[in-house]
Amino acid sequence: MVKKTGRPAYLQIADDLREQVRGGSLAPGAPLPSTAQLAEQYDASLSVVKMAVGILRNEGLLIGQQGKGVFVRDDESSESGQGPAVDLVSEVIELRTAVRDLSERLAQVESTLSERSDR
Partner DNA sequence: CAGGCCAACTAGGTTAACCATGTTGGTCGC
Partner DNA sequence: GCGACCAACATGGTTAACCTAGTTGGCCTG
Q: Which residues bind DNA (CB under 7 A)?
A: 2, 8-11, 32, 34-37, 44-48, 50-51, 53-54, 57, 63-70, 112, 115
Residue 105 touches a second copy, criterion: CB under 8 A: yes
Alpha helices in 42-85 (DSSP H): 46-59, 75-78
The interface partner of residue 98, options being a second copy, DNA, none and the CB cut-off 5 to 8 Å by kind, is a second copy
CA distances from 22 to 39, 67, 88, 90 (A): 21, 25, 9, 6
The interface partner of residue 67, options being DNA, a second copy, none and the CB cut-off 5 to 8 Å by kind, is DNA
Closest distance of CB 67 from DNA, Å: 3
**Rounded to an integer, what distance in angstroms lies between the CA atom of residue 82 and that of residue 76?**
8
Nearer to a second copy, 27 or 92 (CB): 92
CA of residue 7 relative to chain centroid, distance? 13
Nearer to DNA, 88 or 106 (CB): 106
